[in-house]
A = this chain, B = another copy of it.
Amino acid sequence: MREYSISQLSKEFQVTTRTIRHYEERGLVAPRRRGQTRIYSPADRTRLKLILRGKRLGLSLEDSREIIDMYEPGKSNIDQLKKLITAIQVQRLQLTQQLDDIGSLLKDLNQAEADCVDALKSNRTDHS
């Protein structure tokens, strides 16, 4: 049952401690304390991971908070669950849209790179 300090996690995830504390201010993590000092559990570490993944996907902290809270539906009632399901479906729509976008962008990048390589080639043979 490992535990982590804030600077350990900041190094592991390449963010500042300020950033991690900011996530706590916004209610995305709540590590327990030993005295004043924050002690992060593996579960806390996972939450951080999810937050940063969301960030890479362009989600706001608020979005990430909601999504992460979805993963712990322990004490929710029926209405909650129904709300969750629709929220999940919305998220899924956005993500599949992103998948499309990424596909397009990758194609564009490939084309752009090929163009560059071509341009270099002709520059190498054609000494005009």
Contacts and interface: CB of A to CB of B under 8 A. Distances in A.
Of the four ranges (under 10, 10 to 19, 20 to 34, 35 or more), the interface on chain A belongs to: 35 or more
Given A85-B117, A117-B85, A119-B81, A102 B98 contact: yes
B81 A109 contact: no
A92 B114 CA distance: 14
Interface string A91-108: 110011111011011101
Contacts of A88: 109, 112-113, 116
Given A56-B97, A57-B102, A99-B102, 12 more contacts: A53-B104, A54-B105, A56-B58, A57-B58, A57-B98, A58-B59, A73-B119, A78-B120, A89-B113, A91-B105, A95-B102, A96-B106
Contacts of A85: 113, 116-117
B112 A81 contact: no
Contact of A84 (B53, B67, B116): B116
A98 B100 CA distance: 12
A48 to B, nearest CB: 14
Contacts of A99: 99, 102
Contact of A105 (B76, B82, B95): B95
